[in-house]
Amino acid sequence: MLKKLFGLDKKESKQVEMPEADGKDILASPASGEVVSLSEVPDPTFAEKMMGDGVAIKPSEGLIVSPVHGEIMQLFPTKHAVGIKTVNGIEILIHIGIETVNMQGEGFEAFVKEGDKVAKGDQLIKFDMNLVNEKAESTITPVIITNGDAVSSIEKQENQQVTAGETTVMTVNSK
């Protein structure tokens, strides 16, 4: 009843053609800006790779897109982080900013939900950069491989300007 009332029953589900699993995931940057080493993240949980290995993006605008073809495994209720699983089983966490969980979703808008299939470059989340700068510690956005035990190697492309959904930031080979 509520779905009909709010038109939620009419949402078209987008068909995403998934590539075959080949053991290699090429991750595009989820945001435009500059890709840097995780060691530059002002939070030891990320900087010391406690959550996993990866890179960080210093975003130049408030848009996060999918870095790969995959499935949304988790969208945090506060919309400050999203988890994606690739066709090869690699799990990616995109965490927008540092201490953004305390914003309780203010300034964040999600375009996906758990279970959605996404293609590289699909919009995931928009966020208000000015609000994040004002209310959180940083806009720097870690991109973490959370199931490192499934990875045989990670090749990172750090210290470069990147375009969301286009520039490669990591190549991940699964075991």
Active site residues: 95
Q: Are 59 and 31 a contacting pair, CB within 8 Å?
A: yes
- Amino acid identity of residue 88, one-letter, is N
d(CA 50, CA 77): 22
| Gyration radius of the chain over CA positions | 16
SS3 173: strand
